[in-house]
Structure 1
Amino acid sequence: MDNFRLVVITGMSGAGKTQVVRAMEDLGYFCVDNLPPTLIPKFAELCVQSAGRVSKIALVVDIRGGEFFDTLVQVLEDLETQGFMYEILFLEASDETLIRRYKESRRRHPMAPFGRVSEGISRERERLEHIRGRATHIIDTSDLATAQLKEKITALFAGERESDRMTVTVVSFGFKYGIPLDADMVFDVRFLPNPFYVESLRRKSGKETDVSDYIGKWPITHQFLDKLGGLIDFLVPNYVKEGKGQLIIAVGCTGGLHRSVFVAEKIYEGLKKKGYRVGVEHRDIKHNVLEV
């Protein structure tokens, strides 16, 4: 169970458990919402027996479970007896914040379905007091935007180097075939010198040495790569910090055979040297269509 991680998410209704679950899913956690506490030990045992296929679990357990919730403390003590390590993430917010969120969503508080929201909040705080005292992590979401909450969750539960938190894919493409729909950033490199006009290079791709040598020999290419490298060095760490799980960088030329392939390879090599999880795809190189 060395690589097994179990996180129990609980806390005040309206404090952001839904956003936390989404962030945990982005980090590769197997998430289950509103699991009865009595089922936790068996569920954890099944995950351990999955031979590593399910090694990171996040379980949401809160007062929606009614009487079942009151067994949570005993269940956690039983887990410890069985040798399971776990963490408790407790989410809370001020009364004013919770009341505002309930009014905005027009939902009823689970502990005051026919009464005032403030009464439900008071009852819930009292009921959660004991489990809050056992919490490993407590996050007050009163003044946190969704992105800030995600950043905190990533810092606590990613369990990876910062550069491993996000996967980067660099895609070369031809504008004549359309821009990749899932691209986060698109760079148009049709201003670079075009190997199409060199007969010996026309049918080769930007991955081949003589083509890359041709594109790379021009001063404008060096200037562009320097500026592009600086921009990417600035942007990528900030995307990681924001909690983004995947980044698609698209580079396009006319046909997707020469210049876009060359630049995409340069971006890939630069990110790989910096330790990012990065891959490169040449979407339209298979067409082998001559650029116009």
Structure 2
Amino acid sequence: MRFVIITGLSGAGKSHTIRAFEDWGYFCVDNLPPKLIPTFAELCSRSDNNIEKVALGVDSRGGVFFDDFANVIADMHDRKFKFEVLFLEASDNVLITRYKESRRKHPLATDSRISVALKLEREKLTKIREKADHIIDTSNLSVKDLKAELSKIYLSDMEASGLLVNVLSFGFKYGIPLDADLVFDVRFLPNPFYDEELRGKTGNDKEVQDYVLKYRQSKEFIDKLMDMLEFLLPYYTEEGKSQLVIAIGCTGGQHRSVTIANIIHDKLQENRHWAVIDHRDVKKSLGGHQP
């Protein structure tokens, strides 16, 4: 299990960081009192929980609880917990500007100026910063740049773009997926449904795949679609998109769409993209009627 504690100066980007971790499938909890961290870590580490990635946000909003943070970190090291501390910081000028633009109050600025609160917060966080595994200065980083820096540390090579590509096969007679970003219609391809030996099989079976792929237009479509996706994906990533759903449909979602979706998924993975596959309607159409 990867267990990350996210902390640092207020206004340095913790909320954006937690949202990035959520996009990457982490179980996230924000503003947990430090004294509860060891108990929470122990609960998450139990094998029956099936939690593989956890991110906790801890900052000075915890008030008096926050003063225990350094002792909690030391105690977790003593108890041999496996965890990482990510520390976010920025220059005072940048932080003051961010607070003025957001019109929010610094959690430690009860009756003082932001500059005084920042100085106090830096003092409180000195020991934590010294023990941090990773320190990121967000002074000159946009939200997109911050996510890119985080991905270098917390994502595998295949996930490094931060863009999860969902390849989805479906049947038009069951409706177009509502969450689809790109929809492609492969009903122009010859239909294996009309071959009685293939009717009860799916695009996951080699016989159906061989049937669909023996046609020139099938191979040309795959080549042209991959060429377009390789053009588009870097731009989706650059714009900060975290998930893309590519829906490929045929009449019933059993033969042609499943075959093409499988191939597109495999090619994306071969090209080091973070891709997953789902066949929404393959079981619905087995034995069914197609017009």
Aligned-partner residue type, residue 281 of structure 1: H
Task: State the partner residue of 2:28.
Answer: 31
Gaps of 5+ in 2: none
Q: For residue 90 of structure 1, report the CA deviation from its aligned partner.
A: 0.8
The alignment status of 1:128 with 2:125, answered yes or no, reads yes
Aligned-partner residue type, residue 173 of structure 1: F
Task: State the partner residue of 2:41.
Answer: 44
**Secondary structure of the structure 1 residue equivalent to 2:108:** coil
Task: State the partner residue of 2:170.
Answer: 173
- What CA distance in whole angstroms lies between the structure 1 residues aligned with 2:47 and 2:166? 30
Task: State the partner residue of 1:108.
Answer: 105
The answer to which of 54-63 and 105-114 deviates more is 54-63
User: Is the alpha carbon distance of 1:68 and 1:205 closer, same or farther for their aligned partners in structure 2, counting shifts above 3 Å?
Assistant: same
CA RMSD of superposed structures (Å): 3.6
User: Is the alpha carbon distance of 1:241 and 1:257 closer, same or farther for their aligned partners in structure 2, counting shifts above 3 Å?
Assistant: same
- What CA distance in whole angstroms lies between the structure 1 residues aligned with 2:217 and 2:47? 54
Q: For residue 250 of structure 1, report the CA deviation from its aligned partner.
A: 0.6
Aligned-partner residue type, residue 18 of structure 1: S
Answer whether contact 1:202 1:290 (CA < 8 A) is retained.
Answer: no
User: Is the alpha carbon distance of 1:233 and 1:14 closer, same or farther for their aligned partners in structure 2, counting shifts above 3 Å?
Assistant: same
Matches within 5 A, 1:1-292: 4-51=1-48, 53-158=50-155, 160-162=156-158, 168-193=165-190, 207=203, 212=209, 215-233=212-230, 246-254=243-251, 256=253, 258-271=255-268, 278-283=276-281, 286-287=284-285, 288-291=288-291
The normalised TM-score by structure 1 is: 0.78
Q: For residue 6 of structure 1, report the CA deviation from its aligned partner.
A: 3.0
- What CA distance in whole angstroms lies between the structure 2 residues aligned with 1:237 and 1:8? 30
Answer whether contact 1:172 1:261 (CA < 8 A) is retained.
Answer: yes
User: Is the alpha carbon distance of 1:25 and 1:140 closer, same or farther for their aligned partners in structure 2, counting shifts above 3 Å?
Assistant: same
Aligned-partner residue type, residue 144 of structure 2: A
- What CA distance in whole angstroms lies between the structure 2 residues aligned with 1:206 and 1:56? 35
User: Is the alpha carbon distance of 1:257 and 1:44 closer, same or farther for their aligned partners in structure 2, counting shifts above 3 Å?
Assistant: closer
Q: For residue 88 of structure 1, report the CA deviation from its aligned partner.
A: 1.6
The answer to which of 108-117 and 14-23 deviates more is 108-117
The normalised TM-score by structure 2 is: 0.78
Aligned-partner residue type, residue 286 of structure 1: K
- What CA distance in whole angstroms lies between the structure 2 residues aligned with 1:202 and 1:85? 52
- What CA distance in whole angstroms lies between the structure 2 residues aligned with 1:106 and 1:81? 41
Q: For residue 66 of structure 1, report the CA deviation from its aligned partner.
A: 1.9
- What CA distance in whole angstroms lies between the structure 2 residues aligned with 1:209 and 1:137? 48
- What CA distance in whole angstroms lies between the structure 2 residues aligned with 1:86 and 1:206? 45
User: Is the alpha carbon distance of 1:55 and 1:191 closer, same or farther for their aligned partners in structure 2, counting shifts above 3 Å?
Assistant: closer
Answer whether contact 2:202 2:282 (CA < 8 A) is retained.
Answer: no
Aligned-partner residue type, residue 279 of structure 2: E
Gaps of 5+ in 1: none
User: Is the alpha carbon distance of 1:161 and 1:193 closer, same or farther for their aligned partners in structure 2, counting shifts above 3 Å?
Assistant: same
- What CA distance in whole angstroms lies between the structure 2 residues aligned with 1:38 and 1:209? 56
Give deviations 1:45-101, integer Å, cap 9, x for gaps. Answer: 333344563454322222122222222222222222222243221111222332232
- What CA distance in whole angstroms lies between the structure 2 residues aligned with 1:26 and 1:89? 17
Q: For residue 24 of structure 1, report the CA deviation from its aligned partner.
A: 2.2
**Secondary structure of the structure 1 residue equivalent to 2:177:** coil
Q: For residue 181 of structure 1, report the CA deviation from its aligned partner.
A: 0.8
